[in-house]
Amino acid sequence: MIKLFVGLGNPGPEYEATRHNAGFWWTDALARDLKVSLVPERSYHGFAARAQVNGQPVWLLQPQTFMNLSGKSVAALARFFKIAPEEILVAHDELDVVPGEAKLKFGGSHAGHNGLRDIHAQLGTGDYWRLRLGIGHPGVKSEVVNWVLKKPLKEQREAIDDAIARTLHAVPALLAGQMEKATLLIHTSKPPRPKPPRREPDGGGGGAGSEGGAAPAAA
């Protein structure tokens, strides 16, 4: 079961609305749901909150070390409370997932994400859970840094917020250790409903037209 929910981002108002802070947005939403407040905790180098859910203590954490030192904060709290890596979920921005989609994953590489890279190093393993919040890709590798440190377009931010709201429905399953159920809840989304076929007038020599609406993009 998950005992520590971590959201990744950069501290400071200049970064608050940038794509790289999607993990912060997620933990902010979770804190509202659990009716707790994230407050500065110097010992853990971040903002933290503790909640009781069904008698179980649950921690929320937002490292304030800047992204590339996120592991310093995560490891400090996890070691103090003896939380194992497999009991940690890290919510972070994901270039390879489109805005509006989210993916749950256990283990694997950091794939170049500086926050995950440092968590790997500080925990000594990659065997923790990740909630990959799609922010999309600029299409050119050289533009990635600028992309993640800029605000998303209005429709992209709305799609990301919708995904965050949807993934929160999986939190009870995550807390219960029902990871398959949580995965189904998080990965199931509602693509745009296709438009009904257009009917041609009788005798016009034409059948039903093709369905409108594009297929959802592959993640």
Q: 3-class SS at 14?
A: coil
Active-site residue flag, 20: yes
Percent helix, strand, coil in the chain (nearest 5)? 40, 20, 40
* Torsions phi, psi for 60 (to 5 deg): -115, 140
CB distance 99 to 92 below 8 Å: no
Burial category of 202 from C-beta neighbours within 10 Å (exposed 0-12, middle 13-18, buried 19 and up): exposed
Give counts: helices (H), strands (E), the chain.
7, 7
How far apart, in whole angstroms, are the C-alpha atoms of residue 47 and residue 9?
12
Distance of CA 203 to the CA centre of its chain: 53
How far apart, in whole angstroms, are the C-alpha atoms of residue 9 and residue 82?
24
User: Of these residues, 20, 45, 113, 120, which one is catalytic?
Assistant: 20
Distance of CA 30 to the CA centre of its chain: 11
Task: Give the active site residues.
Answer: 20
